[in-house]
Amino acid sequence: MKLTHTRAVWLMVAVTLMWSIAGVVTRHLEHARSFEITFWRSFFTVASLMVILPFFQGREVFARIRDGNAALWISGVCWSVMFTAFMIALTLTSVANVLVTMSVGPFLTALFARIFIGYRIPMRTWIAILVAGAGIAYMYAAQVSGGQMAGTLVALCVPLAGAVNWTVVQRSQARGQNVDLVPSVLVGAVISTLATLPLAMPLQASGHDIALLALLGLVQLAIPCTLSVVCARVLKAPEIALLASLEVIFGILLAWIGANEVPGQTVLAGGALVIGALVANELVGWRTRA
């Protein structure tokens, strides 16, 4: 699939919109809860990728998984943590809390890269990390008395696993190893499915729930994850980071409109600091490199 820059930008916007539907869809489930939600979404992600991956990369994609190095499997484990923690967090706290917490991912990745592979962090990024940290701390302080701290802490596992994932990939690439992230997504979905099945028993999801979770597996994970890799061949990393931050805005708006989940003032204030720091950091970096 060959894209112009403009088409890649719009495709990435569509990707973030697909990513953002998880919160509002989850709020319309009838009986499925916690680990069962994760199990069904991961199961349908596996089923979808088993069709999508051979279409995009040929049947040799399965051989690459079988012969994959340690980095591919570590990446797969990280994806499984992200898949599992994200859905569990949505059952414990608001969509806005989960999405804002996840948005610190680029900063955690920068910190991990500094610690483990010696990546030098520009001063602008250090300032952005401090501002984003202040926003998250403000949210957490308000949630200690609100009973939603557990959900936010679970949501924090998502950017932590993401930071480990990208750091492992960058370290492997620096050593001349090529890690294909698309097969590792399938590995992560398989691990998540197998790990959550025993915890999901007895299965209580209705036909309505299964249909919605199948929608998430296909439309919210399998398709956008594949398309984001296609976009990454055209767009630069700062552009992708900026466009990916739209997921937070789309997700909060969809949950507000589609599930009447009004974000609290502390979430809006803390989220504004986090997103503002991310956007400012990427824009300054983009202009500096240009």
Residue type, 120: R
Instruction: Domain count for the chain, please give it.
Output: 1
Cis peptide before 202 (omega within 30 of 0): yes
User: For each of the chain's 290 residues, which pLDDT tens digit applies?
Assistant: 577 878 888 898 899 899 989 889 988 988 888 889 999 999 999 999 888 888 777 777 777 777 777 778 888 899 899 889 988 888 888 888 888 888 777 778 778 878 887 777 778 778 877 887 777 777 766 655 555 677 888 888 988 888 888 788 777 766 766 666 778 888 899 999 999 999 988 888 899 999 999 999 999 988 988 888 778 777 766 667 667 778 888 888 888 888 888 877 777 787 788 778 777 877 777 777 66
**CA 63 to chain CA centroid, nearest Å:** 26
The sign one gets for the Cα dihedral 117, 118, 123, 129 is positive
What per-residue confidence (pLDDT) applies to 45? Answer: 92
Dihedral Cα 260, 227, 46, 172, nearest 10 deg: -120
Domain that holds residue 120: 5-289
Q: Which two tokens stand for residue 239?
A: 């552009």
pLDDT the model gives residue 194 = 94
Please report the pLDDT score of residue 179 as a whole number. 65
Diameter of the chain measured on Cα atoms: 56
Residue 153: how many other CB atoms lie within 10 Å: 16
Place of tokens 């999405």: 99
Q: Output b/e per residue, 203-227; b: 16+ Cβ within 10 A.
A: eebeeebbebbbebbbbbbbbbbbb
Contact (Cβ atoms closer than 8 angstroms) between residue 247 and residue 19: yes
The whole-number pLDDT of residue 163 equals 83
Q: Supply the pLDDT for residue 39.
A: 93
Instruction: Calculate the CA 247 to chain-centre distance.
Output: 9
